Amino acid sequence: MVTTAVHKSQHQQSPVLIVGNYCHDVLIQNNAVKAVSLGGAASFISNVFNRMSISCNVVSKVGEDFKYPVSYTPIVIPTSKTTVFHAYFDLGFHGKRHQDRILKRVCACDPIRPSDLPDTRSNYGMAVGVGGEILPETLERMIEICDVVFVDIQALIRVFDSVDGTVKLVKLEETGFYPLLPRIGVLKASSEEAVFMDVEEVRRWCCVVVTNGKHGCKLYWKDGELGISPFLANQEDPTGAGDSFFGGLVAGLVQGLAVPDAALLGNLFGSLSVEQIGLPKFDTRLLQRVNDEVQKRKMQCLLYERSDDELKFLRPEGHEQFHTVLAAEKLVTPCSIEEHQWNSPSSTKETEQIAVPHFPKQPKLLANPMYEEPIQRFE
């Protein structure tokens, strides 16, 4: 169970094992490339861990064409190319459902096999594939070598059009991963992905976390559910929000927070991520203050620690106050990237802007009469 591993990690300092390929992301809008960036859940999550001083180990495969410096060296496959995703931000209408982007996997690196994983045990495993690189046997091996495994559903239910690589989703129960669910700790899904599983069924086996953009997230476990408040953000690019959320959630658990407080940290990192294009660069002062608050919060919670694992899901006393303090810290710290609009050169080290002749004007929020929520449009 999630919290058992939390307690173990306080005694042994084993790292978190992150499994998923790095990729190259190409962000496209109005038929023009707006940015090319390091992508893949592994890059967004390790970015959060680095800044929260959480030690981790990444197993990721790339080709010789991989072009970004990363803190955790990937396995280079000479016979394969790095996974590439094209994200289209203006094709977001599929029948009646709105999506903030259409993804196409235009290149796929090799899968990650059980033999690619380390022999040593980890307290936490994160199965965070993006391009179908995690096989059922790889997840099974992760379950064997990690005390608790956190899984992003996108690693399990994505299929890729054989002609143009468009990402489609299949029902979780139709995948080879389904029998493994009772052995994992947490399954994370965005609200778009959550409709591809039976939440009522899956919550009997593991904790389910459903993220819902600017509305925050919701936790579902066997005996209850709990909504976790969002943080305000000026969204520039939704890419990596779910990954940064997941990094924040697990960072919180590793630090010893209760599940609802850790999910709040996830919401904070998700909200910081959408404010920048590509891999976010977090403000050092903000991170220092957030780290301080997490330490204080952990000490407060130790004072009334509950022994029953299931109770760890309940909102601990002072949770709202923790949200207020984190929100205030976010508000007082100006974004470290001042020029982070679509049409400005980015100062993020690992994000590269490509100049195109006619950039659109600033993103503008327009109400779409077909849907309740406003959608982001570019003129």
Ligand X SMILES: O=P([O-])([O-])O[C@@H]1[C@@H](O)[C@H](O)[C@@H](O)[C@H](O)[C@@H]1O
Ligand Y SMILES: Nc1ncnc2c1ncn2[C@@H]1O[C@H](COP(=O)(O)OP(=O)(O)O)[C@@H](O)[C@H]1O
If we measure between CA atoms, which residue out of 120, 113, 103, 105 comes closest to residue 61? 113
CB of 229 to ligand Y, least distance (A): 9
Does residue 16 contact residue 254 with C-beta atoms inside 8 Å? Answer: yes
CB of 92 to ligand Y, least distance (A): 12
Q: Which two tokens stand for residue 233?
A: 């953000």
Q: Which stretch binds ligand X (CB under 6 A): 71-79, 117-125, 237-245, 313-321?
A: 237-245
If we measure between CA atoms, which residue out of 189, 267, 190 comes closest to residue 228? 267
CB of 76 to ligand Y, least distance (A): 28
**Residue 211 contact partner, candidates ligand X, ligand Y, none, CB within 5 to 8 A by sort of partner:** ligand Y
SS3 259: helix
H-state helical runs in the chain: 2-9, 41-51, 136-145, 154-157, 191-194, 199-202, 241-254, 259-273, 284-303, 319-332
Known active-site residue 292: no
CB of 376 to ligand Y, least distance (A): 9
SS3 212: coil
Strands 217-221 and 224-228 come out as antiparallel
Residue number, 22 or 313, with CB nearest to ligand X: 22
Residues 6+ apart with CB under 8 A from 98: 92, 368, 370, 371, 373, 375
Per-residue x/- track, 16-35, ligand X (CB under 6 A) = -------x-x----------
SS3 content of the chain, % helix, strand, coil (to 5): 35, 25, 40
Under the binding rule (CB under 6 A), the answer on residue 239 touching ligand X is yes
If we measure between CA atoms, which residue out of 326, 306, 206, 177 comes closest to residue 263? 326
Number of residues that bind ligand X (CB under 6 A): 15
Residue number, 185 or 242, with CB nearest to ligand X: 242
**Residue 60 contact partner, candidates ligand Y, ligand X, none, CB within 5 to 8 A by sort of partner:** none
Q: Which two tokens stand for residue 166?
A: 């468009």
Find the binder of ligand X among 52, 103, 151, 209 (CB under 6 A): 103
Residues in 150-189 that interact with ligand X by CB under 6 A: 154
CB of 271 to ligand X, least distance (A): 13
**Residue 130 contact partner, candidates ligand X, ligand Y, none, CB within 5 to 8 A by sort of partner:** ligand X
Under the binding rule (CB under 6 A), the answer on residue 49 touching ligand X is no
Residue of 25, 147, 237, 243 marked catalytic: 243
Calculate the CA dihedral of residues 196, 199, 205, 211 and round it to 10 degrees: 80
CB of 32 to ligand X, least distance (A): 18
**Residue 274 contact partner, candidates ligand Y, ligand X, none, CB within 5 to 8 A by sort of partner:** ligand Y
List of residues contacting ligand Y (CB under 6 A): 190, 211-214, 216-217, 230-231, 233, 235, 238, 241-242, 245, 267, 270-271, 274
Under the binding rule (CB under 6 A), the answer on residue 40 touching ligand X is yes
Distances (CA, A) of 346 to 238, 254, 279, 302: 16, 32, 11, 42
Q: Which residues are catalytic?
A: 243
Give me the residues that bind ligand X (CB under 6 A), please.
Answer: 23, 25, 39-41, 44, 85, 103, 130, 154, 239-243
